[in-house]
Amino acid sequence: MADSETKRYRIKPGTRVDLDDFDPDETKLIDDKDEALAKSEKSQERLAELQELLYAEHEHKILIILQGMDTSGKDGSVRHVMGGFNPSGVRVVSFKKPTSVELDHDYLWRVHRQVPATGEVVVFNRSHYEDVLVVRVHNLVPEKVWSKRYDHINEFERMLADSGTTILKIFLHISKDEQRQRLEARIQDAKKRWKFQHGDIEERKLWSDYVRAYEDALEKTSTKWAPWYVIPANTKWYRNYVVGAVVCRTLEKLDMRYPEPDLTDEVVD
């Protein structure tokens, strides 16, 4: 997928964001499911090659941040798109409710501890953005506190980028009706019922508040060094196709090379 295609989903720095302008049902880049599945499989193979290059070259660090409403497909994106990665070179980090130790530090402390090392891919399934999303919606801290965090986050991510980290932020965009269908499916499927929690219903009542919080986060923190992509996620196969293509293209743009071997006269007999 070319930059010109993925660009349609990238939030340009300084752009006002209204999620009503983004159609979660869109399948504009490819509308044939079988073709998309075939291309997604090829993308996984390419990602495996690029990860090996990343590890061998040992110059870059990759941080992929996944955010979205409940049921938007964060776990599915990890499973279907990142599944081609070698487990030894990738970590998936899910940030839960802060522990007492974490609360004794600044809110970015636990995040900084999990960022990728050189040659590594790290995927944040939820992230430091919860501190301008959940924290804001549930009034866990005053507005004068969370409103300063957009600048904190931008500078934190700038520091990571300046230190060699490529940051890719993906918002999986689903509709409220699609979320309802997925929550109902969880209840009806015995294998997925364990995922359902009554708190999901309470959070759903705050949909509009979360939309506004996401719009502000996307608007205020999509930067040249850490751009946001809003990916249509109502159609799962399309979501996987686009996420895979965006990640693949981001790694290809690093123009990585295998290091030259240190060949000497001493060789293995």
Average pLDDT, integer, range 218-246: 96
- Say how far apart CA 10 and CA 243 lie, in whole Å: 12
Whether 259 is in a domain gets the answer: no
**Helical (H) or strand (E) element with 92:** strand 90-94
Q: Kindly tell me if the per-residue pLDDT of 4 is higher than 80.
A: no
Indicate the average pLDDT of the chain.
Answer: 92
**Residue (of 156, 174, 173) closest to 165 by Cα position:** 156
- Say how far apart CA 56 and CA 86 lie, in whole Å: 13
93 token code pair: 């980090």
Q: Is 81 helix (H, G, I), strand (E, B) or coil?
A: helix
Supply the pLDDT for residue 104.
95
Whether 88 is in a domain gets the answer: yes
Q: For residues 128 and 189, which has the higher predicted lDDT (pLDDT)?
A: 128
Task: Convert 18-53 into a string of H (helix), E (strand) and C (coil).
Answer: CHHHCCCCCCCCCCCHHHHHHHHHHHHHHHHHHHHH
Whether 205 is in a domain gets the answer: yes
Vertex 39 angle, CA 33 and 40, to 5°: 85
Q: Kindly tell me if the per-residue pLDDT of 138 is higher than 70.
A: yes
What band does 190 get if pLDDT is binned at 50, 70 and 90? Answer: low
What digits encode the pLDDT tens for the residues 197-206? Answer: 667 788 899 9
Whether 16 and 218 have beta carbons less than 8 Å apart is answered as no
Supply the pLDDT for residue 87.
85
Whether 181 is in a domain gets the answer: yes
Strand order in the sheet with 121-125: 90-94, 121-125, 61-68, 165-173, 228-232
53 token code pair: 């290059």
Q: Could you give the dihedral angle defined by the CA atoms of residues 99, 101, 103 and 106, in that order, rounded to the nearest 10 degrees?
A: -130
**Helical (H) or strand (E) element with 243:** helix 236-252
Average pLDDT, integer, range 86-108: 92
Supply the pLDDT for residue 200.
76
Q: Kindly tell me if the per-residue pLDDT of 264 is higher than 80.
A: no
Whether 216 is in a domain gets the answer: yes
103: Cβ contacts below 8 Å, ≥ 6 apart: none
Supply the pLDDT for residue 268.
57
Percent of residues, the chain, with pLDDT higher than 70: 92
Angle between helices 33-57 and 74-81 (to 10 degrees): 70
Q: Which of 153-167, 222-236, 249-263 has the lowest average pLDDT?
A: 249-263
3-state helix, strand, coil in the chain (%, to 5): 50, 10, 35
Whether 258 is in a domain gets the answer: no
Supply the pLDDT for residue 191.
65
The residue written with tokens 């866990």 in the block is 140
Average pLDDT, integer, range 30-36: 95
What band does 89 get if pLDDT is binned at 50, 70 and 90? Answer: confident
Q: For residues 218 and 203, which has the higher predicted lDDT (pLDDT)?
A: 218
Supply the pLDDT for residue 123.
96
Whether 229 is in a domain gets the answer: yes
- The single-letter DSSP state of residue 235 is S
Q: Kindly tell me if the per-residue pLDDT of 265 is higher than 70.
A: no
Average pLDDT, integer, range 21-50: 95
Q: Kindly tell me if the per-residue pLDDT of 192 is higher than 80.
A: no
Number of folded domains in the chain? 1
Whether 265 is in a domain gets the answer: no
The residue written with tokens 């990728």 in the block is 116
What band does 38 get if pLDDT is binned at 50, 70 and 90? Answer: very high
Angle between helices 74-81 and 236-252 (to 10 degrees): 60
Q: Which of 2-6, 87-91, 102-106, 221-225 has the lowest average pLDDT?
A: 2-6
Backbone dihedral region for residue 240 (phi beyond 0: left; psi -120 to 50: alpha; all else: beta): alpha
Q: Which of 116-130, 139-153, 183-197 has the lowest average pLDDT?
A: 183-197
Its domain, for residue 60, covers 3-252
Write the CATH number for 37.
3.40.50.300
Does the pTM of the predicted model rise above 0.75? Answer: yes
